[in-house]
A and B are shown apart, each in its own frame.
Chain A
Amino acid sequence: MRPEQQGVEVAVLVSVGCHPITGRARRADQDARGLELALGLERQLPGSRVSLLHAGPRGEESEAALRGYLGMGLESLTLLEQAEGSDAIPALAEHLAAAPPQLVITGARAERGEGSGLLPYALAERLGWPLVNGLAAVETIENGVATLLQALPRGQRRRLKVRLPAIVSVDGAAPVARQSAFGPARRAELEATSVPAEPDRELAEWQLAPARKRPKRLKIVKAASARDRFKAAAAKAEGGGGQVLTDVTPEQGAEAIFKLLQEEGVLR
C-alpha cells in the first residue's frame, strides 16, 4: 500500500437540531451531511477513523437526537457534558487540542440557540488551523494535504488545497445524509464525560423571540410631479425595450444571440 493511502483521523462535531415545523429535537441536517461526508471518506481511504463529538447537556430529548447520528453506522459518540446555556467552544477546543484529529468537520450553523455559524471559526482561531467553509466533497488526502471541492453559489465548485490539520464546515451542498437505523442507534454507546463549563452570560442577556416576518421593501418612487408618480406606478414591470428581429436568416439570428451570450459571459 502506498504511504498516501493511509487513513486519516476525522472528528465530526454534531449538534442537536430542531425540526423546522414541529420544533422537536432531531439530528441537525448540516451536521448529518458532515457525518455522511466523513463516512464517505472512510470508505475512500481505508483505515480512516471517524469519531463523533458533542458538547452540551444530557437529556432525554437531546440523547434521542444524538442517537440519530449513531444510527448512521457508528459505535460511539463522545459527549462532553455541560450545563444548559454554557459555552461549548472552550470545551471543544480543549478536547480537540488534547488529541488532535487531522480533519474536523462541522455543520455551517446550528439549528438552535444563537445559530450564528461562529463555532468553526472560533475553533480555527483558537487552534490556529486553516478553515474552509461550504465544503462539497473531499477529493484526495495525500501527505497531509487535502484537496477539497468548495461549493460556490449557483452550483459552481472551486478546488482548494489545504494543509492538514484543518477544520471544514459543511452546508447544503454536501451529500445528503443517509437514513438513521433505529437498532444500531439504540445499541451504540454515548461516552459522557463531565467537563467544566462557563455559562454564556452574553447570550443570557439578549432578548430572544420567535422570528417576525421581515417587512417587504416597498418600491419608493421619488418624483416631483403627480404625472411622474403615475407613470412610475402604472408602468409595466416588463421593460418592453427588447429588440425583436424579424425576417432574418437563421445565421443572423444566431449571431445576435451569440453576441448577447458572450456579453453576459455565460459561454465558457
Chain B
Amino acid sequence: MNEIKRRDPRKEWIARNRLHPQHLEVLAERGQGAASEWLGPNGVVRKNPHAIGFIGPNGVKRIDRSGAQQGGQAAGSTRQAAQDSRRNVTIEAPAFLVAVVPELSGGRLSGHDKDLLGLARRLADADPERPGAVLAVVFGEHKEEGFGEAGIDRLLHLDDDAYAGFAPEARLAALSAVERELAPRHWLLPDSPLGGADLGRRLALRLGERPATGVWQIEADGEAPLGWRCTARGAAESLDIQRPLPRVALALAECAEPVDETRHAAEPLSLAEAIPSAFSRIEDLGQVAVDPAGVALAEAEFIVSGGNGVKDWDGFHHAARVLGATEGASRVAVDDGFMERHRQVGATGTWVTARVYLAVGISGAIQHLQGIQSCDKVVAINLDPGCDMIKRADLAVVSDSGEILAALVAKVEQQRGGQRDAA
C-alpha cells in the first residue's frame, strides 16, 4: 500500500504559491523547508532566489552560483571539507622502509624536505601490493605538526643535546644504529648546504655506498638493482648523469611533488638498542656574531632598505646598525648618491631573499617589488597610504619614517638595556 505515491494536488498548489497563507506550513510538511527550486506545473524548473544566498560582508545579499554555498551555508564549511578530503593511509606491515633524514631548518619541514618526502613516497608506493613505509629520522627539537600530512609513516625522533649544532659524528652514529636495526632499502637526504649534503655524504661512505648526489629525477627501471634509475647533476651543474639509483641518494629541491592527497600515520618509533655515544673530535663553539654590513645583500636575512622618503640618512644608518640589519636601497636613493650602487635592491640591482624586509620611504616601483618577491615578511614605513609597497606589505605604518625609526631604535635599545640589567 505504502509503495503507491499519492499526490495531493492542493498541497502542491499551495507549495507553488508563495503568497498562500499556508505556504510555509505545507513546505515544512513536505520536508522542503524554504524550497529554492522545484518543478513547476508545466515541467519547468522554478527557482526562488529569496530562499538562497547569504549576507555578504557589506550587508548585501550575495548568491554564489557555483553551488558550493547552496542554501546559505557558511563559507568555512566547504573549506573544512577540502581539508578533510585527504585519504588516511596506515601501513601496518611494510614490505620495506625508505628512510628520510629531513633537515628541519627552523624546526619545521622546509619545502625541500617535503619534496624529498614526496620522492620517498614514490619509492615506497611503487608496488601497491607490497607498499613500503617512509621512516623519518628527526634530530633535536622541532615545531612541526604536519608530519603525517607530509607523508611520513614512521617517525623516529632522536632528541638529545648531543645532536644540537654541528654534530656530524653523533648524528652519523645514530644513523648507523638505525641502519643496523631497521636496514632501510633506501636512504634519502636533501642535497642542501644547511647540513643534509654533509650528513648524507658521510652516511653513504660509512655504509660503503657510492651515493647519487644532486638527484632531480627518478624513473622506474627493471634492470637496475633497486628497480629505479635516477638523473643527477654533476660537474658544477653542467652534466646530467643517468645511473641506477643507489641505496643512498641526495636529492635537490623540486625532485618530486610533495604529498597532498593522503595523510599518513607518523607513528612514533624508537630503537631497541641504545645508540653508542660517538667520540667527537669536532667541538661546536656556537654561532659567531657577524657584521651585517658585510653580509651579501642577496643572502641577508634581515634587510632595512631606504628610498626617497628617507630624509635623515645618518638616522637611517644608525637604525640599521642598532637593529643588526643589512642595508639596502631603492634606485632613487642610489642615484641621488646616498647609498652605494651595490646596495640597490630590485630588477637592476640585487634580488634579495630576506626573511624580513623593512622598506623605509620606498613607494614600491614594480622593479623594486620584483626584487623583493621572495621575501617572507615585508614591513613598510611610508607617508603615502596608497602606494604599492603598502599594498605588498604584511605590516605597514603610515607615518614619517624618521620618527618611526627613532622610536624603533629607542625601543630596541631600551629592551636590550633591560635584558642586560636582568642578566
Which residues does A use to contact B, with CB under 8 Å?
18, 20, 109-118, 121-122, 124-125, 130-134, 147, 149-150, 152-163, 166, 171, 202, 205-212, 214, 217, 220, 222, 224-228, 237-248, 250-251, 253-258, 260-261, 264, 266-268
Contacts and interface: CB of A to CB of B under 8 A. Distances in A.
B182 interface: no
B57 interface: no
B141 interface: no
B233 A253 contact: no
A255 B412 CA distance: 10
Given A155-B300, A267-B324, A118 B213 contact: yes
A132 B282 contact: yes
B194 interface: yes
A251 B407 contact: yes
B392 A242 contact: yes
B288 to A, nearest CB: 4
Nearest to B106: A265
Nearest to A225: B66
A208 B65 CA distance: 55
B192 to A, nearest CB: 8
B275 to A, nearest CB: 19
Interface in B278-300: 281-290, 294-296, 299-300
Contact of B216 (A109, A118, A214): A214
B193 interface: yes
B396 A18 contact: no
Contacts of B240: 208-212
Interface stretch (B15-23, B44-52, B145-153, B203-211): B203-211
B206 A222 contact: no
Interface string B137-176: 0000000000000000000000000000110110000000
A152 to B, nearest CB: 7
Contacts of B302: 261, 266
B385 A115 contact: no
Given A113-B235, A134-B193, A153-B299, A222 B260 contact: yes
Contacts of B241: 114, 206-208
Interface stretch (B29-37, B306-314, B397-405): B397-405
15 contacts: A109-B236, A115-B239, A117-B201, A125-B205, A157-B290, A158-B286, A163-B282, A210-B240, A211-B238, A220-B257, A227-B65, A241-B394, A244-B385, A254-B410, A266-B355
Contacts of A125: 202, 205-206
Interface residues of B, number: 89
A107 B284 CA distance: 22
A250 B201 contact: no
B60 to A, nearest CB: 19
A161 B403 CA distance: 45
B247 to A, nearest CB: 14
B379 interface: yes
A114 B358 CA distance: 42
A25 to B, nearest CB: 13
Specify the main secondary structure of chain B where it touches its partner.
mixed
Contacts, number: 240
A238 B282 contact: no
B251 interface: no
A250 B355 contact: no
B194 A153 contact: yes
A245 B202 CA distance: 51
B356 A118 contact: no
Given A156-B287, A162-B282, A257-B408, A243 B396 contact: yes
Given A244-B390, A250-B407, A20 B238 contact: yes
Nearest to A264: B356
Contacts of A153: 193-194, 299
Interface of B: 64-68, 82, 165-166, 168-169, 193-194, 197-198, 201-202, 204-206, 210-214, 216, 233-243, 254, 257, 260, 281-290, 294-296, 299-302, 323-325, 355-356, 358, 373, 376-379, 381, 385, 390-400, 403-404, 406-408, 410-412, 415
Contacts of B234: 113-116, 208
Specify the main secondary structure of chain A where it touches its partner.
mixed
A234 to B, nearest CB: 14
Given A116-B214, A250-B403, A267-B323, 4 more contacts: A147-B285, A149-B288, A224-B82, A228-B68
Given A111-B236, A159-B286, A253 B381 contact: yes
Contacts of A109: 236
Contacts of B281: 130, 162-163, 166
B383 to A, nearest CB: 11
A204 B46 CA distance: 75
Nearest to A161: B283
A118 B208 CA distance: 12
Contact of A211 (B213, B233, B392): B233
B301 A154 contact: yes
A250 B358 contact: no
B414 to A, nearest CB: 10
Contacts of A116: 201, 211-214, 234
A260 B379 contact: yes
A268 B210 contact: no
B381 A238 contact: no
Contact of B377 (A214, A222, A248, A260): A260
Nearest to B390: A244
Nearest to B205: A125
Given A209-B240, A228-B66, A242-B394, A258 B412 contact: yes
A210 B231 CA distance: 12
B287 A157 contact: yes
B412 A238 contact: no
Given A158-B288, A206-B242, A208-B234, A260 B282 contact: no
B166 A150 contact: yes
Nearest to B410: A254
B404 A250 contact: yes
A253 B399 contact: yes
